[in-house]
Amino acid sequence: MLQRAAIIDLGTNTFHQIVVEWEGRQFKILDRLQVPVKLGNKAFIEGKIQQDAYERGLKAARDFRDIIDKFQVENIQIYGTATLRIASNAAAFQEEFEIILKAPVQIIDGDDEAQLIYNGVRHAVPLGEEPHLIMDIGGGSVEFIIADENEMFWKQSFLIGVSRLNQLFPHADPMDTNTREAIEAFLDSELEPLWENADRYFIRTLVGASGTFESISDIDMEMFHSQAQTFPFVHHLMNLSSYREIRDKLLNSTREELSVMPGLIAFRVEMISIGILMVDFIMKRLHIKKLIVSDYAMKEGIMFTLMEKEKQAHG
């Protein structure tokens, strides 16, 4: 039986919506929209969603509603993450968002977020029997998962998202050495559980999802594969020398240079240097030998979870 749903991910930086149609295991994404709401702007310092971000969020809700009406979708799944977990006015925002969408917002914790990310990534990347480190960089939190294709061995969500770090470590671009070192020292301390578990499972492959990783992949396509025939892919194996060239370019560019860099979306410019610094710190600290970018993350994980539930319900 043909099913249709709208899936909305209320991220700290970006709100995402996909409208998906499926039958059995076959699915088609009918529409995608991402809106740079920046809901978490100043929220981690001041403890509340700022008025301009609040209004951008509600405008996104109205845009989502227009698309939902266009596709006549009744099944609406809305998930809220880091900012809506911590902001003092999150409940008021949630209530107004629900009135516009006529559907409930589920505020999920970091563990649930990690589970959904894994469910998305494992449908995009052939993990096999070797434990991989999956890293999803959000604005408020970063989820780390150690898993193979069949099993999650460890997962943890850390409040070190790019928006949060941007607020904790204000900087110009390119970032000065003192700021870089301060951020790396902060990450080294915060991520102690990751270092222990990565050693335990002998991690050498990093699978990246969302935000910064999408930007790295898009820049890679522009810089090194612009003449290649475009084709739909759900994961991207990065050449490490290409990755290092992109890293150096991102870390050593001014804000103006970043704003015109092919493949880098305008709303990611502000936080890309924090994101790439974080990725590179993980790569060096864990001696990563292979980097894969997943095209699927949490919203696709929600989609596959819905499909599985529907399949079980109908035998």
pLDDT value, residue 313: 79
Kindly report, as residue ranges, where domains of CATH 3.30.420.150 are found in the chain.
111-298
pLDDT at 119: 97
pLDDT at residue 315 in the model: 62
Contacts of 57 by beta carbon, 8 Å cutoff, 6+ apart? 10, 15, 37, 39, 49, 93, 97
Class (C level, CATH) for 3-108: alpha beta
Q: Hey, what CATH topology would domain 111-298 get?
A: Nucleotidyltransferase; domain 5 (3.30.420)
pLDDT above 70 as % of the chain: 97
Residue 143's Cβ-side half-sphere holds a number of Cα atoms within 13 Å equal to 28
Nearest CA among 170, 175, 247 for reference residue 208: 247
Per residue in 150-186, pLDDT (tens digit) is: 999 999 999 999 999 999 999 999 999 999 999 999 9
- Tens-place pLDDT, residues 107-156: 999 999 999 999 999 999 999 999 999 999 999 999 999 999 999 999 99
Instruction: List, for residues 205-229, the tens digit of each pLDDT value.
Output: 999 999 999 999 999 999 988 665 5
Q: Which residues pair with 134 in a beta bridge?
A: 145, 207
**By the 8 A CB rule, do 37 and 22 touch?**
no
Per-residue pLDDT averaged across 264-270, rounded?
95
DSSP-assigned beta bridge partners for residue 177: none
pLDDT of residue 231: 53
Q: How far apart are CA 134 and CA 187, in angstroms?
A: 17
- What pLDDT score does 227 carry? 60
- What is the pTM assigned to this prediction? 0.96
What's the CA gap between 65 and 299, in Å, rounded?
17
In this structure, are residues 269 and 183 in contact, taking their beta carbons and an 8 Å threshold? no
More confident residue, 229 or 19: 19
CB < 8 Å & 24+ apart, contacts of 226-234:
233/295, 234/123, 234/124, 234/125, 234/294, 234/295, 234/296
| 26-35: strand order across its sheet | 26-35, 15-23, 3-10, 75-80, 105-107
pLDDT for residue 233? 76
Q: How far apart are the first and last CA of the chain?
A: 12
pLDDT for residue 24: 87
Delimiting residues of CATH 3.30.420.40 domain(s) in the chain: 3-108
What percentage of the chain has pLDDT greater than the value 90? 93
Tell me: the pLDDT tens digits for 78-105?
999 999 999 999 999 999 999 999 999 9
Question: Could you write out the three-class secondary structure of the chain?
Answer: CCEEEEEEEECCCCEEEEEEEEECCEEEEEEEEEECCCCCCCHHHHCCCCHHHHHHHHHHHHHHHHHHHHCCCCEEEEEECHHHHHCCCHHHHHHHHHHHHCCCEEECCHHHHHHHHHHHHCCCCCCCCCCEEEEEECCCCEEEEEECCCCEEEEEEECCCHHHHHHHCCCCCCCCHHHHHHHHHHHHHHCHHHHHHHHHCCCCEEEEECHHHHHHHHHHHHHHCCCCCCCCCCEEEECHHHHHHHHHHHHCCCHHHHHCCCCCCHHHHHHHHHHHHHHHHHHHHCCCCEEEEECCCHHHHHHHHHHHHHHHHCC
Determine the Cα–Cα distance for residues 79 and 105; give it in Å rounded to an integer: 6
